[in-house]
């Protein structure tokens, strides 16, 4: 893990507030925790983080690698919460399966980057970039976001039914097609059996 990060519990706005010092450059968070268990925050969490960052003059960085590119029913998950990050990371679904990663920044943050500050051997390779353009075109013009809403509603309806009839599902979380199923027992054996 890169040095210089202080970790606080997800969703705990007071803990974030207390962790900010004069040396704090930015706050980085996933809008919805992915590997952390598909945890959606309280609706006011990201707006409060945004306000905190503005007040303390620190940047808000959102890691949208898992939540981005239509997975939650919006192009990027922060749109559900009515906020804009200063810097955002995206990857995974961005090029529909071809390897890619990207960092987006607003002017005041992006101006700190010059060619070479963020190097990568295969950075901006034309095949992956073209794939990303095709994906973004589909998301923008192809009705994919509406489709996510539709399929998500069906999936949630069926999962809710399963929950009623089987009783081993303790909770269903997430947004759009980023869905987490919480079990009333350790999930690993279930996952292994399904694999």
Ligand X SMILES: *Cc1c(COP(=O)(O)O)cnc(C)c1O
Catalog residues that contact ligand X under the rule CB under 6 A. Answer: 30, 34, 63, 65-66, 91-92, 101
Q: Considering beta carbons, is residue 51 or 105 the nearer one to ligand X? A: 105
Minimum distance, C-beta of residue 19 to ligand X, in the bound complex (Å)? 20
Of 79, 74, 26, 77, the closest CA to residue 49 belongs to 26
Give residue number: closest CB to ligand X: 91
Biggest CA–CA distance in the chain, Å, is 57
Query: C-alpha 80: how far from its chain's center?
Result: 11
Minimum distance, C-beta of residue 86 to ligand X, in the bound complex (Å)? 17
Minimum distance, C-beta of residue 122 to ligand X, in the bound complex (Å)? 12
Q: Considering beta carbons, is residue 36 or 82 the nearer one to ligand X? A: 36
CA–CA gap between residue 69 and residue 154 (Å, rounded):
20
Minimum distance, C-beta of residue 89 to ligand X, in the bound complex (Å)? 7
Q: Considering beta carbons, is residue 39 or 162 the nearer one to ligand X? A: 39
Q: Considering beta carbons, is residue 3 or 193 the nearer one to ligand X? A: 3
> Which residues are within 8 A (CB) of 74 and not within 5 positions of it... i.e. 6 or more apart?
80, 145, 176
> Which residues are within 8 A (CB) of 96 and not within 5 positions of it... i.e. 6 or more apart?
131, 134, 135
Of 99, 89, 91, 103, the closest CA to residue 128 belongs to 99
């Amino acid at each position: 893990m890169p040095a210089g990060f202080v970790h606080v519990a997800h969703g705990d706005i007071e803990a974030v507030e207390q962790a900010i010092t004069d040396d704090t450059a930015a706050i980085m968070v996933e809008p919805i925790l992915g590997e952390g268990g598909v945890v959606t925050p309280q609706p006011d969490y990201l707006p409060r983080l945004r306000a905190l960052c503005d007040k303390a003059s620190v940047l808000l960085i959102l890691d949208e690698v898992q939540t981005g590119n239509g997975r939650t029913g919006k192009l990027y998950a922060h749109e559900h919460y009515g906020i804009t990050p200063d810097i955002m990371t995206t990857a995974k679904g961005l090029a529909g399966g071809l390897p890619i990663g990207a960092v987006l920044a607003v002017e005041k943050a992006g101006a700190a980057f010059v060619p070479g500050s963020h190097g990568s051997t295969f950075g901006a390779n034309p095949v992956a970039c073209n794939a990303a353009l095709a994906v973004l075109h589909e998301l923008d013009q192809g009705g994919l976001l509406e489709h996510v809403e539709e399929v998500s509603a069906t999936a949630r309806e069926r999962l809710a039914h399963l929950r009623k009839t089987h009783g081993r599902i303790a909770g269903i979380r997430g947004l759009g097609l980023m869905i987490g199923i919480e079990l009333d027992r350790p999930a690993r054996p279930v996952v292994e059996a399904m694999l």
